[in-house]
Amino acid sequence: MKRNNLTTSVVAGLAAIAGIASTANAVELNPDGLGQVLLYPYYTVNEGQQTLISVVNTAEVAKAVKVRFLEGYNSREVLDFNLFLSPFDVWTGNIFALSDATLSGDGAAIGTADKSCTAPDKNRWTGTIPGSTVPYNTFRNYAYTGRNVDTGPTGFERTREGHIELISMADLAGSLASAVTHRGGVPNNCSVVQSISPQNSLLVAPTSGLFGAGGIVNVSQGTFFTYNAEAIDGFTNTVLFSDQSSLTPSLAQAITGQDGTGQDIATAYVFGTGGQLIRSDYLAGGTPNNAIDAVSAVFMSSNLYNEYNVDSSVGSNTDWVVTFPTKRFYVDNQYLQVPLRGPGAVEPFVFTFGEDADGNGDGLSCSEVGILQYDREEGAPTEDSDGFSPPPPDQPPSALCREVNVISFLNIPQGSPAPTESGVLYSKLVANIDPYASTGWLNLDLAADSAHVSRASIDGDVYSGLPATGFQAVNYVNENVTEGVLSNYSGLFRHRASRSCANGSAVCS
């Protein structure tokens, strides 16, 4: 049964009267940045760049966290490990290209000088970065080669850009907490937590309190693009600890409570564009298991909005990162258990990854989008000049075809080939928009394809669009600071979004 439509202020007031938190048992995208799950929408090591990541435990309890790195085509995993955070701990890492550290290989790796416990232990990682004592671990291609081939690239270059997720698996009690707690900056005994049984009674349901940040830095160019990790709160009320499988825990394991029959459910709380608080419930842990839809719901966007600046007079250029953090659960043949290149994608997506179909193909899972550009004075291009430029062959004129997409705004002469990398982040996951003006803004319509609608919640809520996150990265180049001196000024701005949710003929509530 649907709940009454309550504004945020009314919900907050009722919660205060009742002495409860209004979203204590629901998946939500926490606007304050604290949560159980952290999503970092982009990492890259292209063209001398490195990506710095950090996670902070603000809680007075120790935590076990799964750290997972996912490549940008189909979000196949390239590395994961378990991280154990002491109360009030900070963990940091640096993703870099092997070649930039004078190591052999075309891929990427993660290095860290942090002392927090990991499993596997850092003395079992690949080695130490040359000229230092810092351990590093190389990213792997096992998940998309051999029997795991998915029609995308198979080389190690595929590991060079993607996205990251951190999932709280459990809080630690007793001797487990003592083992990871730092004394003089060093954990007491990491070996205690490196072979924990998932049934250990000292593993308790994870609480909130994590926040994180990422930064893409190019030391030689002097650019630094920084962002806050997206924080999902209320993700789980049960222990999700695993050291046996790289695929668990996953974003598809959200669980927030039970319905009246004892069936596990995953509830999502989403703020509608009109300010209403929408509650959507999904079956979890049984058949069907639609728990991933609760996570997707908090990212569902009918439109993304942001600016661009490609003014040659100030040396500016712009990239947009658009990441679909849950897409693999709807398009990857391994999750869907369908034949490679065969159909079977789940809404709101249309094609499985690599599906042999018009508008798709190897290494792709295309979603048609609408592109509405404006300059700063309300001007807009004619319809026939809109779309990606040059148009990609055998695809819709405006389609985002990967899990991580980087949209560049480069003026490509008519008849010239499409760019092979973006203008700011040097991404190979690039789609280009011919900018209408030197400065302006873009409305990316994710609901342009009528097929982009979510599966219905238990109560019948249906969201239009796609589950997306990301940011605008803009760089300004000043070649005239003084003779022989060049300066870069970089900025990053999170996308804004609108949402559309319907329940039959009514607005969701």
Residue pLDDT, tens place only, 62-103: 999 999 999 999 999 999 999 999 999 999 999 999 999 999
Reported confidence tier of residue 286, pLDDT bands at 50, 70, 90: confident
Structure tokens at 242: 């695993």
Q: What percent of the chain has pLDDT over 70?
A: 91
Q: What is the dihedral of CA 249, 252, 257, 261, to 10 degrees?
A: -120
Q: Helix, strand, coil: what percent of the chain each, to 5?
A: 15, 40, 45
Helix/strand/coil for 12: helix
CB 501, CB 463: distance < 8 Å: yes
Structure tokens at 446: 């994710």
Can you tell me the distance from the alpha carbon of 234 to that of 37, in angstroms, rounded to the nearest whole number?
9
User: pTM for this one?
Assistant: 0.93
Structure tokens at 490: 């970089």
Distance of CA 319 to the CA centre of its chain: 17
Reported confidence tier of residue 481, pLDDT bands at 50, 70, 90: low
Residues in the chain: 509
Task: Supply the pLDDT for residue 287.
Answer: 76
Can you tell me the distance from the alpha carbon of 505 to that of 106, in angstroms, rounded to the nearest whole number?
53
The candidate with the shortest Cα–Cα distance to 247, out of 350, 143, 338, is: 143
503 pLDDT above the threshold of 60: yes
Distance of CA 203 to the CA centre of its chain: 27
The candidate with the shortest Cα–Cα distance to 100, out of 67, 148, 133, 136, is: 136
12 pLDDT above the threshold of 80: no
CB 305, CB 495: distance < 8 Å: yes
495 pLDDT above the threshold of 50: yes
Sign of CA dihedral 459, 461, 467, 468: negative
> Which conformational region is residue 341 in: left (phi greater than 0), alpha (psi within -120 to 50 degrees), or beta?
left
Helix/strand/coil for 123: helix
pLDDT in tens, 404-427: 999 999 998 888 888 999 999 999
List 227's β-bridge partners, or say none: 214
pLDDT in tens, 132-166: 999 999 999 999 999 999 999 999 999 999 999 99
Q: What is the DSSP letter of 4?
A: P
Reported confidence tier of residue 183, pLDDT bands at 50, 70, 90: very high
